[in-house]
């Protein structure tokens, strides 16, 4: 049976399985429960540098499992203002709590209207159910 995982209502989602939570012109970014499950044990998160300009759906950083490497794409455009340094020593947080202590980066959003290109929780759930694997 396919693993769908938790999909919090209040977040927005990408087709590449990132989530973003927008609050007062800032967006907190992470990967979804489905993604952490598919990637298996995450062993390293190559955090973006603070100050990096992220473009919507452009590579933001990289996460590694033992035998794979995956790009993480920015759900919205903006400047990286904070990263979750805790992940350097505790990459397992992404597996344990992808929507909480496993967050990856916080960005200052350029254009909040980009959110319309993202999925809400219900749309993401349907999208996952429609995927082949």
Report residue 118 as tokens: 């993202």
Question: Which range in 26-34, 62-70, 99-107, 109-117 contacts other proteins by CB under 8 A?
Answer: 62-70
User: What gap in Å lies between CA 53 and CA 111, rounded to an integer?
Assistant: 13
The residue among 20 and 54 lying less far from other proteins, judged by its C-beta, is 54
Tell me the number of residues near other proteins by CB under 8 A.
Answer: 12
User: What gap in Å lies between CA 125 and CA 3, rounded to an integer?
Assistant: 11
Q: How far is the CB of 62 from other proteins (least distance, A)?
A: 8
User: What gap in Å lies between CA 14 and CA 91, rounded to an integer?
Assistant: 22
The residue among 11 and 45 lying less far from other proteins, judged by its C-beta, is 45
Report residue 32 as tokens: 């979804």
DSSP assignment letter at 48: P
Binding to other proteins in span 28-47, by CB under 8 A: 41, 43-44, 46
User: What gap in Å lies between CA 46 and CA 72, rounded to an integer?
Assistant: 10
Q: How far is the CB of 74 from other proteins (least distance, A)?
A: 18
* Cβ burial 84-97 (10 Å sphere, 16+ → b, else e): beebeeebebbbee
Question: Which range in 19-27, 59-67, 97-105, 110-118 contacts other proteins by CB under 8 A?
Answer: 59-67
Binding to other proteins in span 65-124, by CB under 8 A: 65-69, 91-92
Question: Which residues in this chain contact other proteins in the complex, by CB under 8 A?
Answer: 41, 43-44, 46, 64-69, 91-92
């Amino acid at each position: 049976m396919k693993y769908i995982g938790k999909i919090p209502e209040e977040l927005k989602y990408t087709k590449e399985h990132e989530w973003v939570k927008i609050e007062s012109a800032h967006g907190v970014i992470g990967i979804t429960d489905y993604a952490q499950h598919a990637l298996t044990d995450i062993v390293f998160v190559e955090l973006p540098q603070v100050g990096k300009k992220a473009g919507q759906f452009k590579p933001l950083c990289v996460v590694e499992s033992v035998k794979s490497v995956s790009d993480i794409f920015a759900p919205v455009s903006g400047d990286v203002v904070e990263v979750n340094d805790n992940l350097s020593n505790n990459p397992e947080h992404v597996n344990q709590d992808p929507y909480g202590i496993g967050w990856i980066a916080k960005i200052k959003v350029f254009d909040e209207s980009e959110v319309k290109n993202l999925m809400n929780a219900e749309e993401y759930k349907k999208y996952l159910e429609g995927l082949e694997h």
